[in-house]
């Protein structure tokens, strides 16, 4: 048995052990979905960071920087600064007003059934988008890691899917919280170690490191080129590059506050103060991590090189290949195991938010009108929907193949979240006049606009020369209708517009009457669900 | 934070009374004074980055130290901007908690005196 495989199995055994231990301790709905509301601020902060730093951060950003330099660092910056939106606008009101899902906040003063149905659809869409990217990363990683052993990309995708389902079905939220914490610590440690190794390669001279970044050599169309990778514009070129950067920025800044698996974390803490402090913990960890993508990405560009990475698994494999180049096979296996654990944990977090939303919003509140007919039914439905969501994500990831950059794929999920979820959350907390028609219109327009624009963007539509074959060929062979890869700049305003127009064109007195209740609840903790007393 | 108890669900007057109270309006004003300027500042500061990098690439490529250019330094400064605002917000948040504690105590007192009559 090879070293990488052995390290994998050890790690998976440890995490599953924790899941089993947690499943012994959790019982009842509040424990399954919200970890009994007794998570502390540092724990929640580390768990938020764990949920957030996915394959996109570790594998994707390193890959974009290694291939296109400075422009890739824009992902790092946006993904941290986005937490200011979460901290200043979303975290505390959500903690005070919500119960388990985003739809709980909306259902406060709007008609619950249509709002829950739409919110559930949007949650499932965003989670699936996000999850597909993780599956692509996992598949590519394991295929590279176990090269020659006969395990293919397809098998790897199915393997991750099955593990994830085991996590969620047996552990619930408390188990995934602990998995996130362990994984976040491992990821930080691995990244720090890798950064130190990169600097030691340059004899701890920042001057030498940045000097090397100024002369990155690789081959393009058979020609040797030398580029300054600290120069902006290698990825986002005119004429649409600048707009693309702004569109990406909008999606990242406003998407985070609409991510269902991040929002659900704020229901696991006892009060607003803990929610606030946990965001700050998360920002400290996430920020330090993203600054270190400088070493991961530029390190891979200068030490490993584009040419080698391109022929050994593609952009997503830059960080693991850097580890191999710097410290050999065992460290390579260690970094791969961390990347794998990262993906597994994020996928588990996503699955639980998607399945919670389906069970709590759609099953219990839409289909059965808020009555739990048999005790424990909601938990059972959540477990079944975890299987279904996992299977859908696996199927699409297998269809897409291992080539697409995962940071780019995740940025699309952020665009969908920013366009559909954020407008209705913000308007429902801050706009007295907001009503059910507005929420349904906002969610609907945001979803359709963001997904529609992605479908007609250059990532899916282009005319390839006949030499391009297989997965690299664009899905629709025609000139793209929308010039930008990320739809945020147009779809976010459309989401807001839909919500505002829907509200203005309809009349619903109750939503206005109940605004005071939501306003008081979300700003004080008056009437908020108490932390469950420890028995 | 004190334990909050649940006022009667259907009694909208409780919420209206609290929402109209001096303390609650004070809380909202205190929050707005911090949150609105902080939010606007961070949006402007953040979006200056893609705008400058996109529309003034030559300016952003000016080298400041060795090969390190303005673009990278400005991107790096965003991290410290975010941490600073977060730190300031946590400090301001203690004030919010104080006022919100008062509001809850007042609301509960009112509730109890109503019940005693």
Q: In angstroms, rounded to a whole number, what is the distance separating the alpha carbons of residues A282 and A51?
A: 10
> Which run of H or of E encompasses B112?
helix B70-116
Residue A188, C-beta contacts closer than 8 angstroms, at least 6 positions apart = A285, A288, A289
Per residue in A33-65, is it b (16+ CB within 10 Å) or e — as a string? bbbbbbbebbbbbbbbbbbbbbbbbbbbbbbbb
CA distance A100 to A28: 13
Distances (CA, A) of B82 to A248, A253, B78: 18, 12, 6
Question: Cβ distance A512 to A87 under 8 Å?
Answer: no
Interval B44-98: pLDDT, tens:
999 999 999 999 988 998 999 888 999 999 999 999 999 999 999 998 888 888 8
* Residue A467, both tokens: 């030499």
- Residue A4 confidence (pLDDT): 66
Per-position b or e across A224-234, b if 16+ CB within 10 A of its CB: eeebbbbbbbb
Residue B26 reports pLDDT greater than 80: yes
Closest residue of A to B15, CA-based? A517
At B12 the pLDDT is 66
**Is it true that the peptide bond before B73 is cis, omega within 30 degrees of 0?**
no
How far is CA A89 from each of CA A212, A292, A329, A513, rounded to the nearest angstrom? 41, 27, 45, 22
Q: Is A224 helix (H, G, I), strand (E, B) or coil?
A: strand
Q: Locate tokens 């970044």: which residue?
A: A213
Mutate to test the interface with A, among B63, B87, B100 (most CBs of A within 10 A): B100
Domains of chain A (ranges; CATH) run: 3-407 (1.20.1730.10)
Peptide bond into A414 cis (omega under 30): no
Distant-in-sequence, close-in-space partners of A333: CB < 8 Å, separation ≥ 6: A3, A4, A6, A7, A8, A145
State the Cα–Cα distance between residues A505 and A515, nearest whole angstrom.
19
d(CA A176, CA A90): 22
Q: Determine, yes or no, domain membership for B31.
A: yes
Q: What is the pLDDT of residue A124?
A: 87
Give pTM, 2 decimals.
0.86
User: What residue has token string 């991750």?
Assistant: A160
CB contact under 8 A, A524 and B24: yes
Long-range contacts of A472-475 (CB under 8 A, 24+ apart): A472/A403
Domain count, chain B: 1
The verdict on residue B44 lying in a domain is yes
Name the minimum distance, in Å, from the CA of B116 to any CA of chain A: 21
Query: Chain B neighbours among A 287-316 (CB < 8 Å)?
Result: 287, 290-291
Chain A partners of B72 at a C-beta cutoff of 8 Å? 70, 73, 230
Distance CA A342, CA A355 (A): 20
CA angle A170-A174-A59, nearest 5°? 90
Considering only CB atoms, B79 lies closest to which of A207, A232, A287, namely: A287
DSSP letter (8 states) at residue A532: P
* Residue B68, beta-bridge partner list: B65
Q: How far is A242 from chain B (nearest CA, A)?
A: 4
pLDDT score for B117: 46
Closest CA relative to residue A4, chosen from A158, A141, A145, A138:
A145
Among A75, A77, A227, A236, pick the best mutation site for testing chain B contact (most B Cβ within 10 A): A77
Nearest CB partner across the interface for B47, out of A211, A249, A276 = A249
CB contact under 8 A, B50 and A242: yes
Q: Verify whether the Cβ–Cβ distance B24 to A214 is below 8 Å.
A: no
Residues 25-64 of B with CB under 8 A from A: 27-28, 31, 35, 38-39, 42-43, 46-47, 49-51, 53-55, 57, 60-61
Subunit contact B87:A280, Cβ cutoff 8 A: yes
Contacts of B83 in chain A (CB under 8 A): 283-284, 287
CA separation for the pair A130, A136 (Å, rounded) = 10
Residue B81 lies in a domain: yes
B2 domain-assigned = no
Distance from CA of B117 to the nearest CA of A (A): 23
* Listed residue (A329, A484, A347) closest to A406, CA to CA: A347
Task: Using an 8 Å CB-CB cutoff, list chain A residues near B66.
Answer: 206-207, 210-211
Backbone angles phi, psi at A220, to 5 degrees: -130, 125
Beta carbons of A273 and B89 less than 8 Å apart: no
Q: Count of A–B CB contacts within 8 Å?
A: 162
With contacts defined as CB-CB under 8 Å, which chain A residues touch B110? Answer: none
Q: A237-272: b or e for each residue (b if 16 or more CB lie within 10 Å)? A: eeeebbbbbbbbbbbbbbbbbbbbbbbbbbbbbbbb
Choosing among B35, B48, B79, which should be mutated to test the A contact, i.e. which has the most A CBs within 10 A?
B79
Contacts of A472 (CB under 8 A, 6+ apart): A403, A464
Residues of chain A numbered 219-248 and touching chain B (CB < 8 Å): 228, 230-233, 236, 241-243, 245-246, 248
- Any idea which residue has 């009101």 for tokens? A93
Task: Compute φ and ψ for A341, nearest 5 degrees.
Answer: -65, -40
Domain housing B77: 12-116
Tokens of A412: 């699309």
Q: How far apart are CA A441 and CA A503, in angstroms?
A: 8
| Residue ranges, chain A, pLDDT below 70 | 1, 3-5, 8, 11-12, 15-16, 18-20, 22-39, 98-100, 148-149, 164-165, 167-177, 369-376, 468-473, 525-535
Kindly tell me if the per-residue pLDDT of B7 is higher than 60: no
How is A263-331 classified by DSSP, letter by letter?
A: HGGGGSSSSHHHHHHHHHHHHHHHHHHHHHHHHHHHHIIIII-HHHHHHTT-GGGHHHHHHHHHHHHHH
CB A60 within 8 A of CB A403: no
Residue among B1, B49, B85 whose CB faces A271 most closely:
B1
State CA A309 to chain mean position distance: 24
User: Is position B3 within any domain?
Assistant: no
pLDDT of residue B76: 95
Q: What is the pLDDT of residue A174?
A: 58
B7 belongs to a structural domain: no
Q: Which residues of B touch A273 (CB under 8 A)?
A: 1, 93, 97
Distance CA A311, CA A289 (A): 27
């Amino acid at each position: 048995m090879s070293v990488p495989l052995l390290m994998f199995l050890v790690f998976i055994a440890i995490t599953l052990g924790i899941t089993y231990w947690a499943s012994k301790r959790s019982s009842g709905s509040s424990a399954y979905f919200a970890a009994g509301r007794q998570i502390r601020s540092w724990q929640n902060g580390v768990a938020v960071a764990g949920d957030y730093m996915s394959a996109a951060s570790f594998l994707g950003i390193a890959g974009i920087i290694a291939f296109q330099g400075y422009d890739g660092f824009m992902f790092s910056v946006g993904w941290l600064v986005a937490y200011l939106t979460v901290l200043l606008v979303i975290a505390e009101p959500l903690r005070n007003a919500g119960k388990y899902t985003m739809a709980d906040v909306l259902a406060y003063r709007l008609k619950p059934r249509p709002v829950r149905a739409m919110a559930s659809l949007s949650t499932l869409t965003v989670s699936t988008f996000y999850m597909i990217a993780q599956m692509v990363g996992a598949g590519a990683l394991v295929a590279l890691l176990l090269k020659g052993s006969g395990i293919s990309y397809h098998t790897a995708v199915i393997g991750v899917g099955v593990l994830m389902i085991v996590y969620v079905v047996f552990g619930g939220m408390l188990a995934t919280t602990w998995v996130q914490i362990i994984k976040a610590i491992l990821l930080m440690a691995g990244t720090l170690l890798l950064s130190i190794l990169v600097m030691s390669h340059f004899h701890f001279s920042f001057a030498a490191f940045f000097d090397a970044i100024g002369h990155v050599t690789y081959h393009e169309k058979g020609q040797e080129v030398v580029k300054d990778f600290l120069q902006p514009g290698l990825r986002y070129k005119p004429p649409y590059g600048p707009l693309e950067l702004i569109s990406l920025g909008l999606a990242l800044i406003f998407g985070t506050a609409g991510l269902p698996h991040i929002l659900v974390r704020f229901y696991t803490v006892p009060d607003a103060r803990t929610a606030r402090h946990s965001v700050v913990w998360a920002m400290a960890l996430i920020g330090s991590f993203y600054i270190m993508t400088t070493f991961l990405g530029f390190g891979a560009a200068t030490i490993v090189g584009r040419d080698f990475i391109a022929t050994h698994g593609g952009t997503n494999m830059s960080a693991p290949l850097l580890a191999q180049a710097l410290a050999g096979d065992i460290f390579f296996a260690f970094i791969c195991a961390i990347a794998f654990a990262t993906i597994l944990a994020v996928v588990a977090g996503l699955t639980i938010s998607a399945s919670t939303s389906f069970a709590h919003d759609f099953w219990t509140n839409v289909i059965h009108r808020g009555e739990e007919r048999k005790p424990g039914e909601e938990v059972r439905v959540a477990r079944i929907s975890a299987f279904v969501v996992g299977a859908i994500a696996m199927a699409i990831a297998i269809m897409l193949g291992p080539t697409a950059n995962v940071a780019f794929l995740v940025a699309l999920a952020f665009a969908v979240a920013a366009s559909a979820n954020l407008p209705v959350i913000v308007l429902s907390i801050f706009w007295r006049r907001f009503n059910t028609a507005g929420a349904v219109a906002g969610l609907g327009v945001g979803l359709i606009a963001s997904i529609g624009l992605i479908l007609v963007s250059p990532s899916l539509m282009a005319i390839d020369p006949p030499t391009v074959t297989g997965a690299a060929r664009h899905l629709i062979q025609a000139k793209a209708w929308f010039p930008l890869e990320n739809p945020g700049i147009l779809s976010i305003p459309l989401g807001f517009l839909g919500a505002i127009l829907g509200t203005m064109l309809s009349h619903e007195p109750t939503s206005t009457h109940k605004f005071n209740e939501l306003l008081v609840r979300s700003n004080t903790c008056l009437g908020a669900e108490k932390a469950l007393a420890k028995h | 934070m004190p334990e909050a108890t649940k006022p009667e669900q259907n009694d909208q007057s409780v919420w209206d009374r609290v929402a109209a109270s001096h303390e609650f309006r004070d809380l909202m004003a205190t929050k707005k004074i911090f949150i609105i300027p902080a939010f606007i500042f961070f949006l402007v500061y953040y979006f200056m980055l893609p705008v400058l990098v996109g529309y003034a690439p030559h300016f952003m490529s000016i080298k400041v130290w060795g090969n390190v250019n303005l673009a990278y330094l400005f991107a790096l400064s965003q991290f410290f901007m975010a941490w600073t605002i977060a730190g300031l917000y946590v400090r301001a948040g203690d004030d919010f908690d104080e006022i919100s504690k008062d509001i809850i105590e007042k609301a509960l007192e009112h509730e109890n005196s109503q019940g005693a009559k």
